[in-house]
Amino acid sequence: MTAHPVDEKLPALKMATTGLQHVAAMYAGVVAPPLIVGAAIGLTGTELTFLTGACLFTAGLATFLQTLGIWKIGARLPFVNGVTFAGVAPMTAVVASTKDKSDALPIIFGAVIVAGLLGFIAAPFFSKAVRFFPPVVTGTVITLIGVSLLPVAFGWAQGPHPTADDYGSTTNLGLAAATLLIVLVLRRFTRGFVKQIAVLLGLIAGTLLAIPFGVTDFGPVTDAAVIGFPTPFHFGAPRFQLAAILSCVVMVVSMTESTADMLALGEIVERPADEKTIAAGLRADTLGSALSPLFNGFMCSAFAQNIGLVAMTRIRSRYVVATGGGFLVLMGLCPMAASLIAVVPRPVLGGAGVVLFGSVAASGIQTLVKAGLDKDNNVLIVAVSLAVGMIPITAPDFYHAFPQTAKIVLDSGISTGCVAAVLLNLVFNHLGRNRDDQDVTHPMEAGEQIAAAH
């Protein structure tokens, strides 16, 4: 019997290069949270390098849990796990409220451990919500994931620091455009393996192209140590403070996004994620988060940007992503190796990100095609949910008057759009008898017909 593409083991060279491509796609997302939190605490350069390496190491371990799995833990889908951006706001809030900044990381680690363990217990109950995720919901959420990630790519395209003089310069935007063009040309005019690793080749070509412009910085390689292990509890033993633990309600946000990501990836790899798969995937997320602070890492969750890579390359093997997890572990153990990907300029990452994140949005649109948009109920569900999910993207200060705890959830367009889609689908398609079973191609069509009759 032929193995499903998800369970296929590819040749070693192909496994290594495509696995590295996954690492390249998510590297910036993994290192950004520790850089932000570390800067807020005021860590030295050496401590910041250590914290970043620790997050890479724990991301690799969490990826192993998710792709290879043990017992009832792990979705066994091509999922990359790493530090979630959802945790940045509560972590910086903890830093701001801590008088002695040296206590901040132990308090954060304690909160993450508790949140991870509670999430692990809640995973099987949370997964039962899968029946409330039909194509009209999943398609909307997948589209929102892609659209929500695109501003990240646009930010990268402008440069690494918004305060820098060259931020948004023609040089940076030109490098992003050139990288995007290289990826598109490779995808259009090459075949087979070269076509599948077009993003990786585009990143390499873009980095080389950036050298004459002085944008490529090889300093991280020359300054990095060859070997370094993330010593357990390097920054101190975890401390458990109730306020910090309550702020980690963000775990619910992370679990919601991971559920949507699993449903999205299940559609893309043609192995739909059922309740059992989602429960196992959430256990991997939450257990990875609970174990991460042991090695000085933060809360982990599935990375949506890698879904775009799977969608674009059509390489669906979970062993490819597990290989990427192996690279993450090695980079965590070898800071010099980790620094190699740090050499890739942000504008180059931005150009490749347009393709990756746009592919996620396109996958969502493909799912919506199956959602029965000939029903006006479904059109309304999609319309309102997309609008709600777009609020944090188009109007970032929309919820400025809300409490900080509420903003943790509201500022995530993926989460708010997902909740809106689930609730609207429940109201329109589940509660009571559906009064409008007729095909309607536009939500205003019925009103237009009445006007015509009059």
Report pLDDT digits (tens) over 4-18.
Answer: 888 888 888 888 888
Q: Does pLDDT of 182 surpass 60?
A: yes
Percentage of the chain beyond pLDDT 70 is: 87
Q: Which two tokens stand for residue 446?
A: 């019925």
pLDDT tens, residue by residue, 146-161: 788 788 789 889 987 7
369-392 pLDDT tens trace = 878 787 888 899 999 999 998 998
Banded model confidence at residue 438, pLDDT cuts 50, 70, 90: very low
Q: In this structure, what are the phi and psi dihedrals at residue 205, rounded to the nearest 5 degrees? A: -65, -40
**What average pLDDT is seen over the chain?**
81
Residue 388: what pLDDT?
92
Q: What is the mean pLDDT of residues 317-336?
A: 88
pTM score of the predicted model: 0.68
How confident is the model at residue 439, as a pLDDT? Answer: 45
- Distance, in Å, from the CA atom of 267 to the CA atom of 366, rounded to the nearest integer, reads 10
Mean pLDDT for the stretch of residues 239-266: 74
CA 433 – CA 237 distance, rounded (Å): 56
Q: How confident is the model at residue 104 (pLDDT cuts 50, 70, 90)?
A: confident
Three-point CA angle 285, 287, 288, nearest 5°? 65
273-308 pLDDT, tens digit each: 888 889 999 999 999 999 999 998 888 888 776 787
Cα→Cα distances 90→40, 105, 107, 280, Å: 12, 12, 12, 26
Which residue bears the tokens 């993994």? 30
313/443: higher pLDDT: 313
Tens digit of each residue's pLDDT (9 = 90 or more) over 202-218: 888 999 999 998 888 77
Residue 253 has pLDDT above 70, yes or no: no
